[in-house]
């Protein structure tokens, strides 16, 4: 019987619970600890909706869990900001564990946080561990997938990715995050304060550019409301005509004054259809569309858990999805 990979789950919000649930069902994985500020003392199986007790009690003492459990890999899902989660990553690295994180800014931090990225890379190399962030987006739809598509191209002129989501079936926190039900003036205030923003478009753009060997002059972002033309509602919210039904965000990467990478993200109540698409302008031109879109929570958990075997075979340091072989599904129990 093959030795199982010792794993600690770090962060048990909705995404973290999805990760823990899937990890617990994987043949090659043994969960040996769980860290979260909430639900302390409760069994992980109860919180992660496994329908059974697993004998792992949730603790808010991360250092103690890492020391006792001695994980090979920590599945980290606590925040989007790289500077904010850096102390957690530092602690995990010093405990001798590799990390697969969902932190969006960590997916390709070298442009926005070069000094912090270098410090984390050096620390990981010193301790012989590997650190990487992944998920559905960033992590797959707007970076890894487009890059993989370009492998069959002789030349690439432009990359465009589009993600349209009908937010009506999504969780209430997601609907609030995209500003559904807000007046346009309130929506703009929330954009200005940073409360409404999909994190990760610049990171995905920078990763694609690096993968293609392009030097970017600049990356821009524009965020605005999708205004409801008529009343629309979900089981959580009602939106009047003229209010924000959700968000439209566009990231652009420019090289030599030309727009060479475009990422468009829209999530709003009442979208006619959900889909993900990548368009490559080059030789040949390519267009691939996922009808119905990709389920964000399911895909994020899958990307993180399926990265576990890859991260253990990767060289020490801070790496990105472009640095490892394409992920594939791993066997369940």
pLDDT digits (tens, 9 = 90+) for 302-330: 999 999 999 999 999 999 999 999 999 99
Indicate if 144-293 has the same CATH topology as 5-135+298-323: no
Q: What is the mean pLDDT of residues 285-299?
A: 95
Residue 1 pLDDT > 70, yes or no? no
Residue 241 has pLDDT above 90, yes or no: yes
- CATH number, domain 5-135+298-323: 3.40.50.720
**Helices 114-127 and 82-94, interaxial angle, to 10°?**
10
Task: State the average pLDDT over residues 264-277.
Answer: 96
Residue 171's pLDDT is what?
82
CB 244 within 8 A of CB 225: yes
Cβ-in-10-Å burial (0-12, 13-18, 19+) of 244 comes to buried
pLDDT for residue 315: 98
What's the confidence (pLDDT) of residue 333?
85
In the predicted structure, residue 225 carries a pLDDT above the cut 60: yes
Residue 135, both tokens? 């998920």
As a whole number, mean pLDDT of residues 240-252 equals 97
Does the pLDDT of residue 287 top 60, yes or no? yes
Q: Count the residues in the chain.
A: 333
CA distance 104 to 203: 8
* Nearby residues of 145 by Cβ (< 8 Å), 6 or more positions away: 161, 278
Calculate mean pLDDT across residues 9-34: 97
Query: Lowest mean pLDDT: which of 147-156, 165-174, 255-264, 296-305?
Result: 165-174
Distance of alpha carbon 165 from alpha carbon 267, whole angstroms: 5
- What is the rounded average pLDDT of the residues 260-271? 97
Q: How many CB atoms are located within 10 Å of the residue 211 CB? A: 20
Q: In what order do the strands lie in the sheet with 286-291?
A: 218-227, 244-255, 258-268, 155-166, 275-283, 286-291
Share of the chain above pLDDT 90, in %: 95
Domain ranges across the chain? 5-135+298-323, 144-293
Inform me whether the pLDDT recorded for 173 exceeds 90. no
Q: What is the pLDDT of residue 207?
A: 99
Residue 2 has a pLDDT of 72
Question: What's the confidence (pLDDT) of residue 195?
Answer: 92
Q: Residue 32: how many CB atoms within 10 A of its CB?
A: 18
Question: In CATH, which of 3.30.360, 2.50.20, 3.30.1180, 3.40.50 is domain 144-293?
Answer: 3.30.360
Contact in structure between 223 and 247 (CB atoms under 8 Å): yes
* Residue-wise pLDDT tens digits, 38-76: 999 999 999 999 999 999 999 999 999 999 999 999 999
User: Residue 121: its pLDDT value, please?
Assistant: 99
For position 236, what pLDDT does the model report? 95
Separation between Cα atoms, residue 26 and residue 90, nearest integer Å? 27
278 is written with which tokens?
């990548």
């Amino acid at each position: 019987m093959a030795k199982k990979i010792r794993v600690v789950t770090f962060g048990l919000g909705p995404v973290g619970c999805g990760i823990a649930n899937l990890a617990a069902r994987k043949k090659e994985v043994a969960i040996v600890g769980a860290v979260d500020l909430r639900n302390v003392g409760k069994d992980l199986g109860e919180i992660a909706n496994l329908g059974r007790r697993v004998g792992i009690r949730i603790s808010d003492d991360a250092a103690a869990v890492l020391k006792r459990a001695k994980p090979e890999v920590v599945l980290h899902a606590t925040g989007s900001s790289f500077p904010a989660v850096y102390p957690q990553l530092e602690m995990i690295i010093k405990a001798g564990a590799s990390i697969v994180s969902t932190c969006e800014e960590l997916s390709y931090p070298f442009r926005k946080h070069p000094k912090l990225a270098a410090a984390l890379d050096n620390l990981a190399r010193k301790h012989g561990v590997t650190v990487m962030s992944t998920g559905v987006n960033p992590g797959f739809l707007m970076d890894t997938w487009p890059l993989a598509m370009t492998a069959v191209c002789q030349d690439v002129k432009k990359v465009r990715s589009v993600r349209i989501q009908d937010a009506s079936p999504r969780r209430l926190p997601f609907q609030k995050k995209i500003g559904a039900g807000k007046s346009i003036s309130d929506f703009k205030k929330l954009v200005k304060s940073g409360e409404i923003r999909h994190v990760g478009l610049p990171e995905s753009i920078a990763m694609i550019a690096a993968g293609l060997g392009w030097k970017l002059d600049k990356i821009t972002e524009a965020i605005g409301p999708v205004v409801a033309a008529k009343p629309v509602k979900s089981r959580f919210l009602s939106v009047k005509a003229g209010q924000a039904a959700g968000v439209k965000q566009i990231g652009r990467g420019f090289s030599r004054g030309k727009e060479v990478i475009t990422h468009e993200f829209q999530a709003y109540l009442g979208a006619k259809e959900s889909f993900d698409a990548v368009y490559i302008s080059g030789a040949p031109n390519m267009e691939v569309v996922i009808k119905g879109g990709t389920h964000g929570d399911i895909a994020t958990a899958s990307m993180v858990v399926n990265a576990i075997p890859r991260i253990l075979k990767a060289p020490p340091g801070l790496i990105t999805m472009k640095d490892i072989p394409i992920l594939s599904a791993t066997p369940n129990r």
